[in-house]
Amino acid sequence: MNSILFDTNLLVYAWDASDRAKQHRAVELFGHERRRIILASQNLSELAAVLLRKEVPSAEISAIIDLYAKLVPVWPVEPSDIIEALRAVTRYRMSYRDAQIWAVAKRCGRAAIFTEDGPIGQTIEGVAYANPFAQPFG
């Protein structure tokens, strides 16, 4: 596994102090794996939506998005990813949003998705799923 695509929940935890244990773990994981982390542009869009619901000021959200974009590569969602996501919805019964992130990870090649959702412990078409809150990393 070369790259790790962080699911949006990990990005949210890094900024949300309501669960200190998850916040600490997300920040620790980001620091430990930073050279291997990639994001999909969808992750940043979802992060903005979640933070807006939490009433974080838009200027602060913009700074957070800009910081992530400077720290790690952000892969755009391509039309081919949308087509792959639609296939995965049918074939693997994924939610569309999860399938779209899976499609970007698949396109990246040898990527894993770190998330609390999805088929943890499974590999789907070369994309491994791991829950970094339940499994050690390193």
Q: Is the pTM of this model over 0.95?
A: no
Superfamily per CATH, domain 3-130: 5'-nuclease (3.40.50.1010)
- Strand ranges (DSSP E) for the chain? 3-6, 37-40, 74-75, 111-114, 123-124, 127-130
Contact indicator for 83, 48 with CB cutoff of 8 Å:
no
The strand pairing partners of 127, in sequence order, are: 124
Under 8 Å between Cβ of 44 and 6: no
| pLDDT reading at 46 higher than 60 | yes
The pair of structure tokens assigned to 104 is: 């970007």
Give pLDDT tens digits for 52-79. 999 999 999 999 999 999 999 999 999 9
Span 71-123, pLDDT tens digits: 999 999 999 999 999 999 999 999 999 999 999 999 988 789 999 888 899 99
Rounded to the nearest angstrom, the gap between the alpha carbon of residue 25 and the centroid of all alpha carbons in its chain is 15
The rounded distance, in Å, linking the Cα atoms of 98 and 89 is: 9
Q: What is the pLDDT of residue 134?
A: 85
pLDDT score, position 115: 93
